[in-house]
């Protein structure tokens, strides 16, 4: 496999199905933000000692590959995009509701940085919000995307914020449970 194909040297890249577009194409930008989110979540996971959070984040990272692939598949592609299952959103929602029942968690906005793990999840959340904005902009330009992508990314940003608060609380009280 040769990574340096030089095909992108002209400022163009391929979407799924072989359609060539500018690297500044909104689909590319939205997919890039999802890729950045996956990396930010990977960093947060790499420094997180809570095994439940670690495993949850890794599972979500796999789902982000599906989201990115779906965004990289335009409507006129010969290959259909992968489907974002409503169950994926429901599972995120269940995790949000479960963490919301944690009695010691603070729901107040805090200045990021009180501890490295919660700060890493706060960075992931802000990347997620930016990705969501780009995906919404993509739909405003009448690009067809799976209708479950926006709710998924929106719910994920809620979950990332809550994980930051949970891990902040855990660090303060030395508890390790989700």
Write out pLDDT tens, residues 148-170. Answer: 999 999 999 999 999 999 998 87
- Residues 124 and 122: their CA atoms lie apart, in Å, by 5
pLDDT in tens, 25-51: 999 999 999 999 999 999 999 999 999
- Nearest of 157, 32, 17, 127 to residue 82 by alpha carbon: 17
Domain 12-173 carries which CATH code? 1.20.1200.10
- What is the model's pTM? 0.89
φ/ψ of residue 21, rounded to 5: -140, 165
Percentage helix, strand, coil, to 5, in the chain? 60, 5, 35
Instruction: Report domain extents, the chain.
Output: 12-173
For 25, the token pair is 């194409």
- Phi and psi, residue 22, nearest 5°: -65, 145
């Amino acid at each position: 496999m040769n990574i340096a194909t030089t095909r992108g040297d002209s400022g163009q890249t391929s979407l799924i199905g072989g359609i060539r577009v500018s690297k500044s194409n909104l689909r590319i930008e939205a997919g890039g933000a999802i890729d950045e989110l996956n990396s930010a979540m990977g960093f947060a996971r790499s420094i997180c000692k809570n095994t439940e959070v670690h495993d949850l984040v890794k599972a979500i990272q796999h789902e982000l590959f599906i989201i990115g692939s779906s965004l990289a598949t335009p409507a006129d592609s010969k290959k259909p995009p992968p489907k974002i299952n409503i169950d994926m959103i429901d599972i995120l929602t269940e995790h949000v509701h479960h963490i919301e029942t944690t009695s010691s968690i603070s729901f107040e906005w805090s200045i990021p940085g009180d501890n490295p793990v919660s700060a890493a999840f706060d960075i992931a959340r802000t990347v997620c919000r930016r990705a969501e904005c780009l995906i919404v902009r993509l739909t405003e330009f009448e690009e067809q995307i799976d209708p479950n992508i926006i709710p998924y990314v929106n719910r994920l940003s809620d979950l990332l914020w809550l994980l930051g608060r949970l891990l902040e609380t855990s660090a303060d009280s030395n508890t390790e449970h989700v």
